[in-house]
Chain A
Amino acid sequence: MINDKDSQKIVDYIQNFSRKHSLFVMAYGTGCGAIEIPATMTSRYDAERFGIRGAATPRQADVLLITGYLATKTLKRVIRVYEQMQEPKYVIGFGSCTINGGMYYDSYNTINALEQYIPVDVYINGCMPRPESVISGFIKLQELIQQGKADNGKRYRENLEWYRTNQKKIIKNWKMPDYNW
C-alpha cells in the first residue's frame, strides 16, 4: 500500500474527483417531490452532465434522495434501503417536509426532522424544490465530497446506538436484519 502522505493525497484526490462526478441516485421516490426527478433528469435540466444517474437497486446506488414526507411505514423501508447501500453513501433531504415537517408538521403519521433517523448531508428546501435547486443541492454535495466532508456512512456507524433508539421509538415492530458493516 501507499504510505507516503503526498501520494495518498493524490489517490484521495482522484477518488474524490471520480466519486463526485459519478453519483448514482437510488430511484426511490417518497412523497410528492419525486415528480421533480424526471424533470431534473430529462432534457431541459439534464442532470446527467454532472454524472448524476439513476440506479435501480440500493447495492449500486450512492445517493439516497428522500423526496418529501416520510410516513412511519415508509421510514422503515427507507432505513432498510439506506442500510443496504454501500459506503461511501450520501443522503439528500429534499423539500420542507424532510426539514421540519412542512405542511405535515402536525400529522400523526409523518416524521418531522429526517436527520434524527438517518444522517443527512444536504438539505434542499422548498415545497417542492424546482430542478434548479435540486441541481444546486447536488453541486453542494459535490463540493462536500471533494473536500472529503461527506462522511455519511461513518457518522451512521459511529452513532448507530443513537439512531437506533430514535428509529425504534417510532417503528415499534422492529423486525430487521442487523446493520453490520
Chain B
Amino acid sequence: MEDLGLKIFGAILTTIMAFAVGMTYGGIVRKLTARVQNRFGPPFYQNFLDLVKLQSKKTNIAHGFMGHTAPVWIIIASITVLMFIPILNGNLWFPNLNFHGDLIFILYMMVFGSLGMALGAGQTGNPNSAIGVTRGLSMMVGYEIPFVLALVALMVQYHTTSIQDLMQIQHESGTWLIFSNPFAFLAALFASLGMFRYSPFDIVGAPAELASGPMSEFGGKYLGTMMTGGSIFSFIKLTLYVDLFLGGAGNPDHIGIWATLAGIGVLLIKTFTLYMVPVFYGWVSPRYRTEQAIRYFWGWPTALGIIGLIWAVY
C-alpha cells in the first residue's frame, strides 16, 4: 500500500515536471527564435502567461462530443505515455509502469493523441481543420517509418523491447547506443524533425494557409489544454530519445536526493541539446508541402533506418 501511494505521488511529480519543463522549453525557443530574427522577443515564461490567459477565457462553443473531448484525449495520451517512460534510470522518485514490451506499446500510444485530435477536429466541421488533419496524418505516415525502423533496429540488436533494459545495457557497458548504432540514431533524429512540427514540416498548423489547421475551431480552454498536452508530449519525445540513444540520466546505484537532482540536471542538459536540433533546422528552412515532406522522410531517413537495421543484424 505504501508502495502504491509513493507511485501515485511520483506520477504526479513526473507530470508536473514534464509540464513545467515542456512549457519552459517552448518559451526559451520563442525567445531564441526572436533573438535569431534580431528581435527582443517575449520573456521565457510567456507560455505560462498564455496558458493562464487561455484558461481564464470564456468558452461558449459546442461542437459535439468529440469536439469537446479532443484536447482531453491529447492530455490522456501524453500522460499515459509519460507513465511508461523512465525519466531517471531506476530512480525511486520518478517511478514508471515499466514492463517488457513497453517500447512497442509506446509506439502505438504516441499516435493516440493525434488520432483523438483528428476525430475532434473532424467534428468541428471547419474545412480548414479537415485539410489540416489530412495533412497531419499523411505527414505522420512519413515520419513514422524511419522512427519505427530505428526502434526495431535497437530491439533486434539487443533482443529486448523494454526501455529500462536498454538503459541498463547502456549503463553497464558504458557506451551510448548512439555510438553502437549511429544509423538508427540518425534515422530517429530525422524523424524527430517531423515530430516536433518545426519549420520545414509545419504545414499542418500553418496559420497563413490553413488558419492553424486542426486547431482552428478550438479556442480558450480547449487551446490551453492542447498547449499543456503538447508541452508534455515534447518532453516525452525528448526523454525517450535521451533514454534510448544518449544513455539516459541518473544512476541506479545512487538514489539519494542529491543524485536525483544531479540526474535531473543531466537530463535537462541532454534534452535541451536534443531539442535544439529540430529548432535549428527549422530556423534555416522554409516550409515543405506535404508531398515534399513525405518524399523527404522516405528518402535518406528511411535508407538510414534500413542501414541501421542491417547493422543491428550483423
Contacts and interface: CB of A to CB of B under 8 A. Distances in A.
A5 interface: no
Given A19-B53, A57-B217, A49 B212 contact: no
A148 interface: no
A58 B211 CA distance: 10
A87 B46 CA distance: 21
B42 A18 contact: no
A18 B49 contact: yes
B32 to A, nearest CB: 13
A48 B134 CA distance: 31
B212 to A, nearest CB: 4
Nearest to A11: B56
Counting contact residues on chain B (CB < 8 A from A), the size range is: 20 to 34
B61 interface: yes
A87 B58 contact: yes
B49 A22 contact: yes
B132 to A, nearest CB: 11
Contacts, number: 93
A27 interface: yes
Given A18-B56, A21-B49, A60 B223 contact: yes
Given A15-B56, A46-B34, A59 B49 contact: no
A160 to B, nearest CB: 15
Interface in B36-95: 37-42, 46, 48-50, 52-54, 56-61
A22 B46 contact: yes
B215 interface: yes
Contact of A57 (B38, B48, B52, B212): B212
A46 B216 contact: no
**Secondary structure at chain A's binding surface: helix, strand, loop or mixed?**
loop
Contacts of A27: 207
A42 B57 CA distance: 27
Contact of B211 (A15, A57, A62): A57
Interface string A37-63: 000001100101101001111111110
A48 B61 CA distance: 28
21 contacts: A15-B56, A21-B49, A22-B49, A22-B54, A42-B37, A43-B39, A49-B39, A49-B40, A56-B207, A56-B208, A56-B216, A57-B128, A57-B212, A57-B217, A58-B219, A59-B219, A60-B219, A62-B53, A86-B219, A87-B57, A88-B58
Given A18-B53, A51-B46, 18 more contacts: A15-B53, A18-B48, A18-B49, A19-B53, A22-B53, A48-B39, A49-B39, A56-B211, A56-B216, A57-B128, A57-B217, A58-B219, A59-B61, A59-B220, A60-B215, A86-B61, A86-B220, A88-B58
Interface of A: 14-15, 17-19, 21-22, 27, 42-43, 46, 48-49, 51, 54-62, 86-88, 181
